[in-house]
Structure 1
Amino acid sequence: MAGHSKFKNIMHRKGAQDKKRSSLFSKLSREITVAAKMGLPDPAMNARLRAAVVTARQGGMPKDNIDRAIKKAEGTESENYEEVRYECFGPGGVSLIIESLTDNRNRTATNVRTAVSRNGGNLGASGSVSHGFERMGLISYPAKVGDADKVFEAALEAGAEDVQSTDDGHEIWTAVDGMHDVAKALEKVLGEAEGIKLAWKPGLMVTVSEDDAAQLLKLIDALEDDDDVQTVWGNYDVPEDVLAKL
């Protein structure tokens, strides 16, 4: 279980999806609104908004909710969110990048600092963690679209830079400026992607012990339970035998 996959398999195993669904819709809606405000409120003309809508649709968000989030950006009374990134050292020497969208920096900073300090982590200065990651595009597909060879061939032909396939699915990494061109090419072969987003790809992974893994997952849960936190990226790798015990 690798950090950049957002411990999707753990969510399945623990049945946490229903519990997180309401919070997930709120985060997706916020991202759509921010993306629409930063550019044109038309997914066809706004790459970030297009990615947000695809991710929301794949996350099960109803079309009416998506449309409302886009229209909200056109209103004069919509909240003004800003993007704030935090960098953190977690249990077992793991590095985490915490991305947030907030209308109150003080509230978010306090909540993030509290979650980190109570769960075995330490906040770092800007750049203390991110130098070990690369900003890239991430296109996700479920395992059912094909085996690793099929996806690799499609990704290579589409111009992707890296492919990582597991039993849980396929992660296709691209240059930031080529993400949507690659996504369009892949869609012709593999169908609509499960997710398209900007991501942080770790350079070196850190294998986490059982004790550290349990503490790390508590930290990630605490962060993701905060409405202002959009995504937590990490360079952790939890072995399957350790994962099975959690």
Structure 2
Amino acid sequence: MAVFLWLQEIIQNLNFTPHLNQTVEMGRAFEFRKARKMKRWSAMSKAFTRIGKDIVIAVKEGGPDPDSNSKLRAVIQNAKAVNMPKANVERAIKKASDKDTKNYETVLFEGYAPHGIAVLVETSTDNNNRTVANVRSYFTKYDGSLGTSGSVEFMFEHKCHFRIPAEGKDLEELELELIDYGAEELFLDEKDEDDDNSVDGIMIYAEFQNYGAMQNGLEELGLEILSSGFEYIPTVQKELTPEQQEDVDKLLEKLEEDEDVNNVYTTIKDADD
């Protein structure tokens, strides 16, 4: 409970196509990101809460020094990307270093929403029993069904992504530099017009297991990492009617409101695809 109150106190980011440039048709990661960006930006408080949890996990795993802890270094970059105050980050690192601060466990839930939509729910929790009970109750209340491990994850590809500044960079040249580190898809990602600190970026996607290699590669090349993370990208999608979408949204919105939930991924086909 103390950790939860502390987190509230510091409240809240494929196929490989060679010779890719901004005029070439983009791949699955691009379309997926575009749809999510337009539909479901988490509230700032939610973003800060997640960063707080990620700091705890990173510090417990590798210590409080970002110079020697690449995971913490990445979390600090993500904190900057969502405009989390530096003082909050420093306070979070100090709190996470306390041996009495509980760690968080990452748990993935799988299930189905109404109308056959597969759902992955990514959580970070310090009380797994609470999280299981809550997630199960949401699926039950909104006519979904919580499945077992592996029941829907096979419908998604697990990817890592990095965002770097676009200014002065050529996509084709950058692609050639990064392919050996595991880069699969690169594309331009325009700045957020609602954020005065945002800049045009380049998104780089790779396999989940290549995160460390990509991070090392970008740092070795002297490229600034604005943010990074992981995503589940659906390999199969289903289009819904507006009425069906309303049914599914009731479940998704309830899941996304839960403090333990980091991300929710589905097989819904975007209407503009």
Q: TM-score range by the shorter chain?
A: 0.7 to 0.9
Q: Give CA deviations for 1:3-46 in whole Å, capped at 9, x if unaligned.
A: 5668221246xxxx6xx222321121011111210123222322
Structure 2 contact 112–118 (Cα < 8 Å) conserved: yes
- Scaled by the length of structure 2, the TM-score of the pair is 0.71
Closer, same or farther: CA 136–190 of 1 in aligned 2, 3 Å? same
Deviations 1:206-232 (A, max 9, x none): 333322333333322211211111122
TM-superposed CA distance for 1:58, in Å, is 0.5
Are residues 1:65 and 2:88 paired? Answer: yes
Q: Secondary structure at the match of 2:99?
A: coil
Match among 242, 249, 262 for residue 230 of structure 1: 262
Q: Which runs of 5+ in 1 are unaligned?
A: 242-246
In the TM superposition, what whole-angstrom CA distance separates every residue of 1:116-147 from its partner, at most 9, and x where no partner exists?
Answer: 233342211101011222332122468xx37x
Larger displacement relative to structure 2 (176-185 or 192-201):
176-185
TM-score with structure 1 setting the length: 0.77
Query: CA–CA distance in 2 between the matches of 1:234 and 1:164?
Result: 23
Q: 2:129 — aligned with what? A: 106
Matched, 1:78 2:110: no
Tell me the matched-pair count: 232
* Alpha-carbon shift at residue 233 of structure 1 (Å): 2.4
Correspondent of 1:37 among 60, 69, 91: 60
Which residue of the partner structure matches residue 147 of structure 2? Answer: 124
Given that 2:60 and 2:103 are in contact with CA atoms closer than 8 Å, whether structure 1 keeps it comes out as no
Q: Which amino acid aligns with 1:154?
A: L
Instruction: Report the counterpart of residue 178 of structure 2 in structure 1.
Output: 158
2:164–2:227 Cα contact (<8 Å) kept: yes
**AA of the residue aligned to 2:37:** K
- Structure 1 window deviating more from structure 2 (125-134 vs 193-202): it is 193-202
Per the TM alignment, residue 186 of structure 1 is displaced from its structure 2 partner at its CA by 5.3
Which of 1 and 2 has greater Rg? 2
1:43-86 per-residue CA deviation (whole Å, 9 max, x = no partner) reads 23223222222222101111111112222221022023222210
SS of aligned partner of 1:240: coil
Q: Whose helix fraction is larger, Structure 1's or Structure 2's?
A: 1
Deviation at 1:94, TM superposition (A): 2.4
* Alignment CA distance shift 1:5-1:127 (3 Å): farther
**Of 98, 110, 113, which aligns to 1:87?**
110
CA distance in 1, matches of 2:266, 2:219: 28
- Find the counterpart in structure 1 of residue 229 from structure 2: 197
What per-residue deviation string (whole Å, max 9, x for no partner) do you get for residues 126-175 of structure 1?
Answer: 01011222332122468xx37xx944652453121124667787642113
Q: Which residue number corresponds to residue 133 of structure 1? A: 156
The equivalent of 1:10 in structure 2 is 39
More off after superposition, 124-133 vs 191-200: 191-200
- Give the Å deviation of 1:205: 3.1
- Closer, same or farther in 2 for the Cα pair 1:71/1:130, shift >3 Å? same
Contact 1:4 1:235 in 2 (8 A): no
What SS does the aligned partner of 1:174 have? strand
Question: What secondary structure does 1:97 align onto?
Answer: strand
Please report the RMSD computed on the Cα atoms of aligned residues, expressed in angstroms: 3.3
